[in-house]
Amino acid sequence: MLSIHDIAHNTAACLVSRLPDGIRKPEVEVVAFGLEVVMGAGLQLVIFAATAWYLDLVPEMMAALVTMATYRLLAGGVHCSAYYRCLILSLLTLVILAFLGRWLPGALGGYLPGAIVPVFTAGLLIAWRRAPADVEAAPIINPARRALLKKACYLWLLFWFAIIEYGCYRGWPGSVLATSLLALVFQSLALTPAGFTAVGWADSLLKRILPLG
């Protein structure tokens, strides 16, 4: 089965071979990695948007996606062992969070703002203990970079708290606010040992069900 990795590598090899001989050519692997990141992110975004539109969950899924993706850039987190399993697990997570986000405001009976401070506080505590999370493929060995990323996580959480509080004050849709809150809960838990274990278990299950590589 032709994968994004193969397409990116073949495209990179073609591009590098077409460069003039008089200039310093980049490594094929470097170009292929960049292409793979761009192609993979683009495909994910298209699939997420199409699914959100089909299920009529666009605001909620986009709120979850923005919350999780931006925080993950700073805090890190566990990865699946293959792109397709990451795509499937991410899509399932966004859909579940969106549906839960629509249900939560009604279940809380108008007390959604009361859940913001506990979630924010728990997020700070987890970030203090666990962020940024190391993964085997990309360990953070520079202490200065680790300290910078931890401070960035704190600032992100403060910014998120301010935005959600402002949204409550301005009367933004409760489902959107609730989905963002749940997304932060999920992404924070993904930094913990239990989160790593859960994602690893889901990755193994998907590998058995859909051995796509």
Q: Are 36 and 83 part of one and the same domain? A: no
Q: Cβ-count burial of 168 within 10 angstroms (0-12 exposed, 13-18 middle, 19+ buried)? A: middle
Note down the domain range covering 65. 56-209
- Phi/psi for 15 (5° steps) reads -65, -45
Q: Are 1 and 81 part of one and the same domain? A: no
Q: What are the tens digits of pLDDT across the range 165-203? A: 999 999 999 999 999 999 999 999 999 999 999 999 999
Q: How many domains does the chain have?
A: 2
Which residues face 76 on adjacent strands?
133
Complete DSSP assignment for 6-28: HHHHHHHHHHHHTS-TTSPPPPH
- Distance between start and end Cα atoms, the chain: 8
Q: Are 168 and 178 part of one and the same domain? A: yes
Kindly state the DSSP code that residue 76 receives in the 8-state scheme.
B
pLDDT band at 5 (very low <50, low <70, confident <90, very high): low
Task: Report the predicted TM-score, pTM, of the whole model to 2 decimal places.
Answer: 0.86
> Residue 65: which of 90, 83, 87 has the closest Cα?
90
Q: Are 127 and 24 part of one and the same domain? A: no
Q: 115 or 28: which carries more pLDDT confidence?
A: 115
pLDDT at 150: 96
Given a contact cutoff of 8 angstroms between Cβ atoms, the answer to whether 126 and 191 are in contact is yes
Q: Are 7 and 24 part of one and the same domain? A: yes
Q: Are 94 and 72 part of one and the same domain? A: yes
Which residues face 133 on adjacent strands?
76
pLDDT band at 3 (very low <50, low <70, confident <90, very high): low
pLDDT at 160: 98
Q: Are 131 and 47 part of one and the same domain? A: no
Distances 197 to 143, 191, 200, 205 between C-alpha atoms, Å: 26, 10, 5, 12
Q: Are 202 and 122 part of one and the same domain? A: yes
pLDDT band at 82 (very low <50, low <70, confident <90, very high): confident
Q: Are 93 and 112 part of one and the same domain? A: yes
pLDDT band at 81 (very low <50, low <70, confident <90, very high): confident
Q: What is the mean pLDDT of the chain?
A: 88
Q: Are 166 and 177 part of one and the same domain? A: yes
Q: Are 103 and 199 part of one and the same domain? A: yes
- C-alpha 155/C-alpha 146 separation (Å) is 14
Is 80 exceeded by the pLDDT of residue 122? yes
Kindly state the DSSP code that residue 136 receives in the 8-state scheme.
T
pLDDT band at 37 (very low <50, low <70, confident <90, very high): confident
- C-alpha 58/C-alpha 167 separation (Å) is 18
Q: Are 65 and 49 part of one and the same domain? A: no
Complete DSSP assignment for 40-55: HHHHHHHHHHHHHHHT
pLDDT at 134: 78
What would the two tokens of residue 99 be? 């549906």
Is 90 exceeded by the pLDDT of residue 12? no
